[in-house]
């Protein structure tokens, strides 16, 4: 089998918060008539420059056309040569590599008549515990809205949440106070996610204040500036909870292990450049005696299904994971979305081939956008994932 063509289609999908995220859907065509689909998820992250889709399509065609899609390691190597790691969490090259690698698993799975989980090593679980994100409070007035989000999601079956924290600690405290009072044993918060916004000392002070609420924490996420391996190692010894951090390059993961900076590796294909890289990172974590969680950029269903297949095959996925993207968006581009049940992401059935997602062309047409251009979105909107322009 040979890859004969590639298509990239950009879509802009609104969230319930009003924020519109741009994703790129990948189609790989072959001389056997089998088609692989993938997702370059969520280009709506800083830095505020955009890839040129036409140029990207041409560049990727020059790498991929004529290749045997089963040569996944070789293709990944060539993709890495063209889109090198950058020691940066939101490096757009990683999103590009991830979308292509995902489409290869879809394609090869479909050709063989097996699911992507089987290609990734087989399943040790059929569902993955996940949490719903509560976006960062900038103002006290947002507490009401966020409590309402919890109410609605608890009704729907979610019982674990993740709080983006650290911008307005008073508001965080108000939220936690109300959360514990109203939801008691019905719901818990698995992590305070500081998203690298604070230095480790400031984060440590914030944790001391937020810690007084009994919310069932599993971990503290990203409580230091990006690539501050020493800072993470310091704070790790000062707080009682495990520390987790995202993985965005081999080098960064090596430094985190060498300095024993964290306890839990937060792994997402989009940030490490694909399922292949994510699986490697999870194995490295396992070899270092560490746990992992599946992180998220908030993917659509294709990207989320890919993570479900990956998670199904991981032996050290021993904390609550994050992918709930399809629940955050008002629409998707597939016929049947991934399924959440009682706070779990279900791994697509063994009977499906590849990722098990089928594109809905009418939805693609509806949400199609011409390019990945930014317009006027502010940094605050990007950090808060909201359409509201607040300063």
- Which residues are designated catalytic? 90, 164
Structural contact between residues 321 and 132, judged by C-beta atoms closer than 8 angstroms: no
Is 244 among the residues that bind ligand LMR (CB under 6 A)? no
Query: In the numeric block, which tokens belong to residue 352?
Result: 């499906």
Binding test (CB under 5 A) with Mg ion, winner from 222, 227, 261, 298: 298
Binding test (CB under 6 A) with ligand LMR, winner from 276, 297, 313, 321: 297
Q: Which does 67 bind (CB under 5 to 8 A by kind): Mg ion, ligand LMR, none?
A: none
CB of 293 to ligand LMR, least distance (A): 13
Nearer to Mg ion, 134 or 174 (CB): 134
For Mg ion, the nearest residue by Cβ is: 297
> Could you give the CA distance from residue 219 to residue 340 in angstroms, rounded to a whole number?
23
Q: Which does 385 bind (CB under 5 to 8 A by kind): Mg ion, ligand LMR, none?
A: ligand LMR
Is 195 among the residues that bind ligand LMR (CB under 6 A)? yes
Is 304 among the residues that bind Mg ion (CB under 5 A)? no
Is 298 among the residues that bind ligand LMR (CB under 6 A)? yes
In angstroms, the Cα distances linking 215 to 152, 235, 244 are: 18, 20, 17
Specify the stretch interacting with Mg ion by CB under 5 A; choose among 156-164, 249-257, 272-280, 296-304: 296-304
> Could you give the CA distance from residue 269 to residue 42 in angstroms, rounded to a whole number?
12
Nearer to Mg ion, 95 or 229 (CB): 95
In angstroms, the Cα distances linking 313 to 121, 169, 294, 324 are: 6, 38, 12, 19
Nearer to ligand LMR, 313 or 386 (CB): 386
Nearer to ligand LMR, 30 or 298 (CB): 298
DSSP codes, 260-313: T--SEEEE-HHHHTSHHHHHHHHHHHHHTT-EEEE--S---HHHHHHHHHHHHT
Binding test (CB under 6 A) with ligand LMR, winner from 39, 42, 159, 384: 42
CB of 222 to ligand LMR, least distance (A): 9
> Could you give the CA distance from residue 235 to residue 260 in angstroms, rounded to a whole number?
11
Q: Enumerate residues 18-47 that contact Mg ion by CB under 5 A.
A: 42
Query: In the numeric block, which tokens belong to residue 192?
Result: 């305070």
Phi/psi of residue 134, each to 5°?
-110, 115
> Could you give the CA distance from residue 218 to residue 129 in angstroms, rounded to a whole number?
13
Contact letters for ligand LMR, residues 146-185 (x by CB under 6 A): ----------------------------------------
Buried b (16+ CB within 10 A) or exposed e, 270-293: bbbbbbbbbbbbbebbbebebbbb
Nearer to ligand LMR, 276 or 297 (CB): 297
Q: Using CA of residue 354, residue 357, residue 361, residue 366, what is the dihedral sign?
A: negative
Q: Residues touching ligand LMR: how many (CB under 6 A)?
A: 5
Per the document, the length of the chain is: 391
Nearer to ligand LMR, 167 or 385 (CB): 385
Residues near ligand LMR (CB under 6 A) are 42, 195, 297-298, 385
């Amino acid at each position: 089998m040979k890859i004969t063509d590639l298509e990239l289609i950009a879509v802009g999908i609104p969230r319930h918060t009003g924020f519109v995220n741009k994703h790129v859907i990948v189609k790989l065509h072959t001389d056997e008539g089998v088609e692989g689909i993938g997702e370059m998820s969520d280009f709506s992250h800083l830095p505020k420059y955009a890839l040129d889709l036409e140029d990207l399509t041409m560049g990727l065609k020059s790498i991929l056309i004529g290749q045997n899609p089963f040569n996944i390691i070789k293709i990944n190597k060539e993709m890495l040569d063209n889109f090198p790691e950058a020691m940066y969490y939101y490096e757009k090259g990683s999103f590009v590599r991830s979308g292509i690698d995902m489409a290869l698993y879809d394609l090869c799975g479909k050709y063989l008549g097996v699911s992507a989980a089987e290609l990734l090593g087989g399943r040790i679980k059929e569902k993955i515990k996940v949490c719903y994100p509560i976006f960062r409070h900038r103002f006290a007035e947002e507490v009401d809205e966020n409590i309402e989000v919890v109410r609605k999601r608890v009704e729907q079956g979610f019982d674990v949440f993740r709080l983006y924290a650290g911008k307005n600690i008073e508001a965080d405290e108000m939220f936690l106070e109300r959360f514990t009072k109203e939801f008691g044993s019905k719901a818990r918060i698995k992590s305070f996610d500081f998203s690298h916004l604070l230095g480790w000392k400031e984060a440590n002070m914030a944790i001391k204040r937020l810690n007084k609420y009994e919310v069932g924490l599993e971990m503290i996420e990203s409580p230091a500036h990006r690539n501050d391996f020493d800072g993470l190692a310091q704070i790790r010894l000062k707080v009682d909870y495990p520390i987790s951090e995202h993985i965005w390059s081999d080098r960064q993961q090596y430094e985190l292990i060498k300095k024993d900076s964290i306890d839990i590796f937060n792994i997402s294909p989009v940030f490490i450049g694909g399922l292949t890289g994510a699986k490697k990172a999870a194995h490295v974590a396992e070899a270092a005696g560490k746990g992992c969680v599946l992180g998220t950029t908030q993917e659509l269903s294709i990207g989320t299904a890919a993570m479900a297949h990956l998670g199904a095959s991981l032996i050290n996925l021993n904390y609550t994971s994050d992918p709930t993207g399809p629940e955050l968006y008002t629409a998707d581009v597939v016929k049947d979305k991934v399924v959440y049940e009682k706070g779990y992401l279900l791994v697509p059935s063994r009977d499906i081939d590849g990722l098990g997602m089928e594109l809905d062309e009418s939805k693609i047409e509806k949400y199609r956008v011409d390019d990945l251009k930014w317009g006027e979105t502010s940094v605050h909107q990007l950090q808060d994932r909201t359409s509201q322009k607040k300063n």
